[in-house]
Amino acid sequence: MSELSHGGTGRWLKRITKSMTGEPRDLAALTDELREDSERGLFDSDALAMIEGVLAVAEMQVRDIMVPRSQIVCVEHDESPERIVAQVVESGHSRFPVIGEDRDEIVGILLAKDLLRLQIAGAEEFAIREYMRAAVFVPESKRLNVLLKEFRRSHNHIAIVVDEYGGVCGLVTIEDVIEQIVGEIDDEHDVEDDQTIRKEGPREFSVRALTPIGVFNRYFGTHFSDKDFDTLSGLLMQEFGRLPRRGEAIQVGGLEFRIMRADRRRIDLVRVMTVADYEPPEDDEAGV
């Protein structure tokens, strides 16, 4: 484990400072020196990645990592509790913007854990305004390091992103920001390291983007060609015509593919939805 993890921040920072031949001219020069120090064993690659993440966050804006408006999973203020619970289960999210007449009217945030009160109060007594939290709005131009400070100070974990005209253009969470520093954070919905595909429900599957096309075809009974690419990631980038962002979805070959996790370089995790209930072949039940 690195010194960074042992609270030795002061020690390795002094070592880095002493090792520098002069004052870095700019951020790129500083990054180059840090990489050279890492190669010399001054600190390990994990510490380097986190340092670079911190420097990147200071330069990035909310628009760089937000979930776009079209991909936000919302609940309507007059929706039935049964429908809301179904959306919570289907999406796997923990926080949901509540909309009024349209998507530009965000009236609050609903936390999935608050719906547990339905078990006590009963659906007939459900009034969504009693469960909502206040929504926080931030401009898409806000720096990520500033946003992270605001999240920590307010103990809020989600913000609605608005453009210069006040229209909703996306949302961002504290996890989105932290992942820019420490890398992707797995949760209970993620596929285990020894799996490539995991069945989440009758029609819903979590699939690693680097799953070979052949494995995917065998599992789902599809016939995607692997002539131009080897993995599901390659297939999706070809269909999108670019590297898709988290939350974006596309229909291909009778399946819906939704990007669950991605960064500016690659796709990591995909949610696959079938048209009808689907059971994979018995020899592929484990998704390997």
Per-residue pLDDT tens over the stretch 123-133: 566 678 888 89
What lies within 8 Å, CB to CB, of 234 at 6+ separation is 213, 228
Return the pLDDT at 26.
66
Quick one: residue 170, left, alpha or beta (phi over 0 = left, psi -120 to 50 = alpha)? Answer: left
pLDDT, position 244: 87
Q: By 3-state DSSP, what share of the chain in percent is helix, strand and coil, each rounded to 5? A: 40, 20, 40
Residues 220 and 254: beta-carbon distance below 8 Å: no
Ranges for all domains in the chain classified under CATH 3.30.465.10: 197-284
Pairwise CA distance, residues 209 & 233, whole Å = 5
Please compute the mean of the pLDDT values over residues 76-82 and round it to a whole number: 83
* CATH architecture of the region 197-284: 2-Layer Sandwich (3.30)
Under 8 Å CB-to-CB from 166, ≥6 apart: which residues?
104
Residue 105, Cβ neighbours under 10 Å: how many?
12
Report residue 23's pLDDT band, with 50, 70 and 90 as the boundaries.
low
pLDDT tier, 220 (very low <50, low <70, confident <90, very high otherwise): very high
Model pLDDT for residues 187-215, shown as the tens digit of each residue = 545 545 556 898 888 889 999 998 999 99
Assess if CATH 3.50.50.60 describes domain 67-182. no
Q: Which of 36, 40, 42 is nearest to 14 (CA)?
A: 42
- Cα–Cα distance for residue pair 44/168, rounded to 1 Å: 41
Of the candidates 236, 272, 279, the residue with the CA atom closest to the CA atom of residue 254 = 272
Name the pLDDT band for 184 (thresholds 50, 70, 90): low
Please state, rounded to an integer, the average pLDDT across all residues of the chain. Answer: 80
pLDDT of residue 7: 46
Query: Lowest-confidence range among 9-13, 27-31, 85-89, 237-241?
Result: 9-13
- Tokens describing residue 61: 């804006």
Token pair of 275, please?
């048209």
Confidence of residue 34 (pLDDT cuts 50, 70, 90): confident
pLDDT at 5 exceeding the cut of 60? no
pLDDT surpasses 90 at 108: yes
- For residue 144, with 0-12 CB atoms within 10 Å meaning exposed, 13-18 middle and 19 or more buried, which class applies? buried
Distance of CA 73 to the CA centre of its chain: 13
Share of residues in the chain with pLDDT > 90 (%): 30
CA distance 280 to 288: 12
The reported pLDDT for the residue numbered 6 is: 44
Residues 6 or more apart in contact with residue 22 via CB below 8 angstroms = none
Whether pLDDT at 65 is above 50: yes
- pTM for this prediction: 0.59
First to last CA, the chain: 31
Q: How far is it, in rounded angstroms, from Cα 247 to Cα 18?
A: 44
* Comma-separated ranges of CATH 3.10.580.10 domains in the chain: 67-182
**Residue 135 pLDDT grade (very low, low, confident, very high; cuts 50, 70, 90):** very high
For the chain, list the strands marked E by DSSP. Answer: 67-68, 75-76, 95-99, 106-111, 137-139, 158-162, 168-173, 197-199, 204-208, 249-252, 255-262, 267-273
